[in-house]
Structure 1
Amino acid sequence: MTGTPTDQPVAVDGTGMLCVVLLLHLRRRIEHLPPGTLVHVTATDPAAPLDLPAWCHMTGHTYLGELPTGGGNPPAYALRLAARPTPTRPDAPWHRAPDDAQ
């Protein structure tokens, strides 16, 4: 999907995933979304509040913080997709892609 972001956030459910798997899943889900798209990521891994902001910082996406979920719902986090994110490896999105792969 390309074009203009919608007003509705794109939900990415990472419930039960370790952050390694969550980042693989997240990268696949957002790779064809337009810049500016708001993404809500549900993540139960206790490392998510550290890993998601670090990954956003590395890629250039904007980490917007934890969302109020309330009532025993799993934690969720918001991010906004960058216009020109730093490419990452498809098999290891916590690593930048080699320069020759860009």
Structure 2
Amino acid sequence: MSSDPVVIDGGDRSCVRLLLELRGHIAGLVPGTVIHLIAGDPAAPIDLPAWCHLTGHTYLGPLDGAASPTYALRVAADARATAPESPWRPR
């Protein structure tokens, strides 16, 4: 497990696009890796914890003092897959 978080800049992407991209990044990471996700979408504080609950990843919450809205999560070893075209539908 890496001690440094993996930073992913989601910019102003909509949460659906952001979650599809996030899912791709997570696929290659070691379980336990912490991700700092920069996300400007106003729905991110609601959608990210819900997606983590759905998939089994651990939502760690917003990072205080970050220059842009940034949220932390931990990659699960036994994450549940979602449909290829939709990050909200279990596979």
The alignment's TM-score, normalised by the length of structure 1, stands at 0.85
The alignment's TM-score, normalised by the length of structure 2, stands at 0.95
State the superposition RMSD in angstroms: 0.9
Instruction: Report sequence identity in percent.
Output: 54
- Which sections of structure 1, spanning at least 5 residues, go unmatched? 98-102
Aligned-partner Cα distance in 1 for 2:19–2:65: 21
Give the secondary structure class of the aligned counterpart of 1:95: coil
Q: Is the 8 A contact 1:60 1:86 kept in 2?
A: yes
- Which sections of structure 2, spanning at least 5 residues, go unmatched? none
1:61 matched to 2:57: yes
Over 2 Å off, 4+ runs? none
- Indicate the structure with greater strand content: 1
Aligned to 2:37: 41
CA deviation string 1:30-72 (max 9, x = no partner): 11211100011000000000000000000010000000134xx
Deviation at 1:87, TM superposition (A): 0.7
Give the secondary structure class of the aligned counterpart of 1:30: helix
What is the number of residues matched between the two proteins?
Answer: 91
Q: Is the 8 A contact 1:27 1:90 kept in 2?
A: no
- Which of these two proteins has the greater Rg computed from alpha carbons? 1
Aligned-partner Cα distance in 1 for 2:17–2:53: 19
